[in-house]
A = this chain, B = another copy of it.
């Protein structure tokens, strides 16, 4: 769990996401990942004994990264909701490399995504208790989820202008009922 020795681990995880984007989420092969990571197949299987373990690591990596970024964004400003909006906006504006990796995980077995589901639920609970008065919390949460999923699928139909408007609306609708 703690950052440790394994030199290749991170390279492999990154390579997996890259390969997934290139060959399609459902066509991720260990051979390709190993090659892309500059690691032998034996080396890959040393770090991740099975493909399933690699997938789980991909998910775990995403979850911990997201939570770390959220904590970081929180220190910038008090409101959790605002932090979540800001982070989602950032995740949508810049291309998130790990996204393709998550699609590959889902292609392998959707159950591997359960940690992300519980991450979302945990976040929603925290948001509810942090901003009990926000009547539009659910809408904002769902809208951000929509934005995020569009990016994930490369299905974002908004123009840049529309997306800016949308994010601004979300921010103002958050600011209107900020708390804690």
Q: Given A145-B146, A155-B116: A139 and B169 within 8 A (CB)?
A: yes
Contact of A54 with B by CB under 8 A: no
The one of B108, B143, B150, B158 in contact with A26, judged by C-beta atoms closer than 8 angstroms, is B108
Grouping DSSP codes into helix (H, G, I), strand (E, B) and loop, the A interface class, with mixed when no group exceeds half, is: helix
A152 to B117, CA, bound (A): 13
User: Which residue from B136, B140, B162 sits with its C-beta under 8 Å from A138?
Assistant: B162
A70 at the interface (CB under 8 A from B): no
Which residues of chain B come closer than 8 Å to A25, judged between CB atoms?
26, 106-107, 110
| Contact present for B169 and A138 (CB under 8 Å) | yes
Does residue A157 face the partner (Cβ distance < 8 Å to B)?
yes
Q: Contacting A154 at CB < 8 Å: which of B110, B154, B158, B165? A: B110
A-B residue pairs, 3 tightest by C-beta: A26-B107, A146-B146, A145-B146
